[in-house]
Structure 1
Amino acid sequence: MDNLSYCRQYIISDSRLEPLPGWCEVDIHGELFVIHHPDLDFSRVDSPKEEGGVVVLGYIIDPMTPNLTTLEIAERLARDSNTFDDLLSNIFGLSGRYVIIYWSEKEAKLVHDPCALRKAFYFFGDKNLFCASQPGLIKNFHHLDGSQDLDLVDFISSEKFLKNESFWVGDETVYHNVKQLMPNFYLDLRSKNVNRYWVNNPEKLGSLDEAVKEISTILKGSIDAASRQRLVMQSVTAGWDSRVLLAASKCVSKRILYFVNTMNVYKDNHMDIAVPKKMLGDMGLEVNIFREMPKLRDEFYEVMKMNVEGARKLPKTLAIQYYHDFHYGKLNINGNGSEIVRCYYGEKCAESSMISSSYVIKKAGLDQDSTYLHRKVEDWLADVRDLVEEQDLNVMDLFYWEQRMGNWGGMFMSEQDVAVEGFMPFNNRRLLVLALGLDDKYRVGPDHILHKKLIKEMWPELLEYPINPDTLKVKIRNLLVTGMPEGMKEVIKNILRS
């Protein structure tokens, strides 16, 4: 499994690096040196105007021009970006999973996709600069000391951390002075500074219906473009996020392998099996049910642990091995990131100036006893307060974008790299800014008005099938919030616990 070592990964330095076996090497005018795994998409375009250009590690999609390749988009970016600020404006409407290096006589900067799904970890030494897809890759070329932050060590050693699928908060890592580039930040490779940025939609849309049409166009164009670039597989469940993406794939459905992942747990009567099977069958489409997946092999998990710092052993880890064995190299579409759009943590219910670390940690279901979490969340709140007020954002939506997707979401994508390339159509800055500009009442559950309108716009027949139908236990729990006598509530609670 040597070819899977650091699969689809890269490292950048200001000094030449000895490539790993089979890896590719790139010299950017003697200033920066890049080596990358051969399965990682790579494009380089030198600017015709001066000694500058762009390097793209990963792939980019233009939903408005789905026939363009990453190289063609990179050529346009190099031609039309006279400054790094120009580049930030020019990637505003793009989808994909990428890191872009922009360089010119005046600037050398690095930025990644909106949700930081193509990871970038950096280390600024006294003599050297390193930026890589994983901190372990930096450790391959430079000695790293473990973190000296005892609060951090306590946090990642806690049972709550493991129960939350290693949901990290902040830009710290287990290594001293190695940090992660978070969403809505870019890296200045010359000054060795990290800077926050925000790009607004240049066109203000006045209504929900206008936003629905625009978001629908982005989602449909993104999936169309993805299906042109490589073989595509797409998970289907009974949930909202999956339904929206299924609707967005209507026009290219014949190019897509739709699948349901049982994780060797779900039975045929589970809603995430039964609903997709019925729905896709009625639409004349085949659904592939991944069941009886082979036991997780020790050697496969060892490669994952080497490739990804803190790689987890979860039911979905078994699915990653299955993707490797039967679908290696495909583009795997999932609905992550949609939670940002649909107010995952609920409507805005407090002014940002009144929100504390305890409020955020409780809303996110994290460990209230963690000193590290309180410190990092307080730091984050202090950093985003002006942005939240200026843009009138729901602070918990921004938390999901920057912390949940920037850490937990990106980690899952990195774990998948050993098997497939990941694609998240909601990972589009124009889409996210458009959606966050809408009133919370259109986005929040249980009605999910925006999601419902998106499905109606793209494939209305899909609304005829249940979305997250309640199980018997959920229906009974819902009754408990009504005026039922307390004694009866306790009886039913005891039944549910049994």
Structure 2
Amino acid sequence: MVSNPHSYQVAGYTLHAEELADVDLAEGGNSWVAVIGRAWPLSTGIIPMDSPSVADVLLQMLGEAEWVGRIDEALYDLGGRYAVLIYRAGVLTAYTDACGNRSVFYSLTTREVGSHFALVRRGLEDQALASVVGNDHREDLSWERTRSPYIEALLPNHRINMQDGTQFRFYPVRHNRASVLCSDERLELAARLWSEQLERIVGQVAPKVMSITAGFDSRTMLALAQPHMDSFETFTYTSDEAVNHSAPSTYWSKSGANDFGGVQQLRPFLPTGHLIIEVPADRTEDPAQEWAREHVNILARNADRSHNVRLLPRYIEEFPDPRTIHYRGNLFEIGRLHLRSPVGGRREAFDDLLRRLARGASLDEDSVIRSSVAAEARLGYSKVPADYDLTDIFYWEQRHGRWFAQVLNETDAAFDTVTPFNVRRMIDLFLAYSIQDRSRGFAQRELLYRAAPLLTFVGINGDPDLYRRFVSNGRPEQP
């Protein structure tokens, strides 16, 4: 939620930004460009890495005949977490970052664009909300729609024209340019782009923290950050049952036990002061519940759906500087064919995914398939080239643009989150591999091994380490 806003008067609009948000604003004539959040040009892009103002470079592009295509291309190599607003010839256009980590909502009724649904909704005369249909996966299946008929969400790879309210797909609309690279070239480029962004993160005048779990994504981001570990504080959240070596009583505490055990094996690779954030498995004994009740209205305005609100007061206590940057790796899943089943071809696999999500959300499968036809037409699915899997596009744009963005909106109460995977060129490098290689996480495993081979020794997500798997189970053959 915006608090202590700084306001900027620009042609046609007033821009409000929270006092800690980076605002890069460039004006010229009756045009302007605003980049809100962290936006980092990479060495592969057309915006110079040393440019003091991304907004100023984009503003200069507005004077070119093919300015729209130039802006689209510039955003291909822009990392960070940000939104871009462009005002030209009386029309406001908005973009979000590669994976929609910076959520953007808009209303054609009021011509307002905002980072949070609640901010846009409060400008409406009719603030009524539709009842929620379905459950767990409703954000995935809502496409760009929200609970207000007057507000929509801007999806990744789209731009919104506020004059007519249309979302236009600008990516991916041509063949994956990483497909012409060999595997070594892809991996070397991915490592380089990741390193460039880590340099940006550690160069920020703010505390840096890294969450560590027993999972694959966490292990990879830890491996890639090894040269910079002295710049980070690290932490793991887990249940009190795991810390006390008690049998887990809930699914969440079982997951916490898995993380706690895995992280103990990773201790040699972590800073001495690695922090364990202990959360009671029994919610009724958790003092954070009272904190959540006291702040329920603010939390509801920040995010449409809670992920794990009990962690927020603990984050705020341990990392009290509101400028703190959280380095995270969740988006790797986009590169691993995460939701695709082996069913049929491209179209069959996509329909199978929609049916599985419908069942998970307690929605009628045939109705979901029918509604998807209209949504795909609105959102330009027919423009997606054949070398992109439709389940990838859906997972990229819906799960991360709608669900994961809300997780980050919630944790914004404690820190700003950045993942170096959040770049279209980086994503393309992973999506260029075959279905077989992607389903086994080949590119990610190779990055991990090349960056820190010793980190491949320790088991991932509860697997035994390599010694236990292939050398000895720890028991003598003779008693």
Determine if the TM-score, normalized by the shorter chain, exceeds 0.5. Answer: yes
How far apart are the structure 1 equivalents of 2:32 and 2:301? 33
User: Where does residue 38 of structure 1 map in the other structure?
Assistant: 19
Alignment deviations for residues 213-259 of structure 1 (CA, whole Å, 9 cap, x no partner): 11111222222211212321111111111111111111211101111
User: Where does residue 101 of structure 2 map in the other structure?
Assistant: 117
Alignment deviations for residues 274-319 of structure 1 (CA, whole Å, 9 cap, x no partner): 322332425665421112574231213332013333x32x5x2111
User: Where does residue 253 of structure 2 map in the other structure?
Assistant: none
Percent sequence identity over matched residues? 18
Match of residue 261, structure 2, among 261, 274, 279? 274
Match of residue 139, structure 1, among 111, 114, 121? 121
- Going from structure 1 to structure 2, the CA distance change for 1:406 and 1:266 (only over 3 Å counts) comes to farther
Match of residue 59, structure 1, among 38, 44, 50? 38
Alignment deviations for residues 21-57 of structure 1 (CA, whole Å, 9 cap, x no partner): 731111222x12211222222111235xx54332011
How far apart are the structure 2 equivalents of 1:107 and 1:173? 24
Where 2:192 maps in the other structure, the secondary structure is: helix
Match of residue 332, structure 1, among 326, 333, 347? 326
Deviates more, 1:62-71 or 1:187-196: 62-71
How far apart are the structure 2 equivalents of 1:326 and 1:67? 37
User: Where does residue 495 of structure 1 map in the other structure?
Assistant: none
Task: Tell me how far 1:93 sits from its aligned partner.
Answer: 1.2
CA-atom RMSD in angstroms: 3.0
Deviates more, 1:270-279 or 1:199-208: 199-208
| 8 Å CA contact retained: 1:268, 1:274 | no
Mind listing any 5+ residue stretches in structure 1 that lack a counterpart? 1-5, 10-20, 472-498
Match of residue 188, structure 1, among 136, 161, 164? 161
- The residue type equivalent to 2:155 in the other structure is M
Match of residue 250, structure 1, among 210, 218, 226? 226
User: Where does residue 171 of structure 1 map in the other structure?
Assistant: 144
| 8 Å CA contact retained: 1:224, 1:249 | no
- The residue type equivalent to 1:28 in the other structure is V
Task: Tell me how far 1:268 sits from its aligned partner.
Answer: 6.7
Match of residue 418, structure 1, among 394, 397, 413? 413
Task: Tell me how far 1:444 sits from its aligned partner.
Answer: 0.9
| 8 Å CA contact retained: 2:24, 2:35 | yes
Aligned residues: 433
Where 1:262 maps in the other structure, the secondary structure is: strand
User: Where does residue 461 of structure 1 map in the other structure?
Assistant: 454
| 8 Å CA contact retained: 1:43, 1:56 | yes
Where 1:141 maps in the other structure, the secondary structure is: coil
Match of residue 261, structure 1, among 222, 237, 248? 237
Q: Which TM-score applies when normalising by structure 1?
A: 0.78
Alignment of 1:5-404 (within 5 A): 6=1, 9=2, 22-29=4-11, 31-47=12-28, 51-64=30-43, 72-80=53-61, 82=64, 83-105=67-89, 108-125=92-109, 128-147=110-129, 153=131, 155=133, 158=134, 161=135, 163=136, 169-199=142-172, 205-229=180-204, 230-264=206-240, 266-267=242-243, 270-282=257-269, 286-292=273-279, 294-296=287-289, 297=291, 298-309=293-304, 311-312=305-306, 314=307, 316-328=308-320, 329=322, 330-346=324-340, 349-354=343-348, 357=351, 359-362=353-356, 366-367=360-361, 369-370=363-364, 373-382=368-377, 383=379, 385-388=381-384, 390-404=385-399
- The residue type equivalent to 1:38 in the other structure is E
How far apart are the structure 2 equivalents of 1:74 and 1:266? 48
Task: Tell me how far 1:431 sits from its aligned partner.
Answer: 0.8
User: Where does residue 491 of structure 1 map in the other structure?
Assistant: none
Task: Tell me how far 1:129 sits from its aligned partner.
Answer: 0.7
Mind listing any 5+ residue stretches in structure 2 that lack a counterpart? 246-256, 281-286, 465-479
Task: Tell me how far 1:365 sits from its aligned partner.
Answer: 6.4
Deviates more, 1:135-144 or 1:259-268: 259-268
- Going from structure 1 to structure 2, the CA distance change for 1:335 and 1:266 (only over 3 Å counts) comes to farther
Alignment deviations for residues 427-453 of structure 1 (CA, whole Å, 9 cap, x no partner): 1111112211211222113xx221110
How far apart are the structure 2 equivalents of 1:64 and 1:191? 35
| 8 Å CA contact retained: 1:61, 1:69 | no
Match of residue 439, structure 1, among 411, 434, 439? 434
Where 2:421 maps in the other structure, the secondary structure is: coil
- Going from structure 1 to structure 2, the CA distance change for 1:452 and 1:356 (only over 3 Å counts) comes to closer
Asked if residue 452 in structure 1 is aligned to residue 433 in structure 2, the reply is no
